[in-house]
Structures are given as structure tokens and as C-alpha cells.
Amino acid sequence: MHGTRAQPNLLLRAAAASGHAPGRIGPNAIIQTAEALRLLRGEDSARRVFAAARLDFYLSSPPAEMVDEAEVMRLHDALRTELDDETARAVSTTAGRLTGAYLLAHRIPGAAQHVLRLLPARLASRALTRAISAHAWTFAGTGTFTARPGRPTIYQISHCPLCRGHHGDHAICYFYAATFETLFATLVHPDAHAREIACEAWGDEACRFEIDW
């Protein structure tokens, strides 16, 4: 089918700005975290967390372009220091879901989404993985993203900016897992689920995400 042959090119127009910018991350990592904080905890909590990260100026003037990954790292550190574990997880997860929804609404062409939904899940997951891999620099910063297509699909980020320098007893990269799950559940299979099965915060060599359906 002609649409099927065309879909990789459509998908590869998905999430990227022009040019590779090492050490920078898309603004949704900031914008949607602020929105999640406001939704779940209110404006006062959002201001407290952003002030702790020295990013409170973003609450009145959200970033319009990619941001320094150091700012994203400070924000996620502040979530963990200013909120209890359960709340930090809920905020990060909600921010990831909001980011996935934003990409679907504004960055992945509707024609490509239509084709993906018509494909068997196995083929749709491979096409989506190609697009995500092509634009990994927009969310992994100076981290290294690799992917293993299939069922389950495995994504890995080494030198992960969300947990870099953090040490704990559980996985903490909820933002990434929720973003991947939102995209897969919408475009690949409604029962898609993503979970982090390894995390550098645990002492693992990389953060690893398993997506199955």
C-alpha cells in the first residue's frame, strides 16, 4: 500500500528541530513538569520545586526552545528533594504522559499516526522505534540512546540525565517510561505498557525500559 511505504518519511518528521544540539533537551521536560505539578499539587508546590531548581522564571515564561540538560537535571533533583517519593513519581509520570500527548498532537503527523494504527503491532513498533531513535538527541541530551526492536521492545539510555549522579534503591526515570508508554499505547497497541527494568540510580550500567503489549 502506498501509505505504508510513505510512513517512515512521515514519522521521521516527528519530534526534531533542525540540527543536533548535544547537551540540550526539548522544552517539554520543563513545561509538562510544571503542568503536572500544578495539576497534582497546585501552584504553590510548583513554585517551591522550581525555586529549589533555580528555574522559577520558567513558570511565568516557559521555554520555547530546547534547554540545557543541566536545567532538566536540576528540576528532577528538586522533585526528589522537595516531594516525597510517591508524589515525585506521580508528577514525573504525569509529565511524561503530557509530553507524549503533546508529541501526538503537535509533532507526529496525523497521516503517519493513521498508518501506524493500521499496521500490525509488530510492524508499528518497529516504525515508531526508528522515529524515536532518530530523534533521541532531543530527549537524551548527552546520554546515549539505543533500541532493540521486537516484543518486548527495549530502550536504553546510558549516562541518563534524569538520574545522573543520583543513588537510590529504586528506578526513578518515570518521565521517560510514561512518555514511551503513551506513544506505544496510542500508536502500537492499546495495552502497551512501559516499565524501567534497570536504572543507573540503582547502580546499573544504564537505564533500560521494556515496552510490551
Q: What are the CA-CA distances from residue 98 to residues 42, 76, 165, 205 (Å)?
A: 16, 16, 26, 28
pLDDT of residue 187: 98
Task: Identify the pLDDT of residue 1.
Answer: 34
Measured distance CA(164)–CA(95) in Å, rounded: 19
The model's pLDDT over 53-106, given as tens digits with 9 standing for 90+, comes to 999 999 999 999 999 999 999 999 999 999 999 999 999 999 999 999 999 999
> Quick one: which of 97, 131, 154, 119 has its CA closest to 15?
131
The pLDDT of residue 168 is 85
Residue-wise pLDDT for 83-98, tens only, equals 999 999 999 999 999 9
> Which residue carries 497534582 as its cell?
40
Tell me the pTM: 0.89
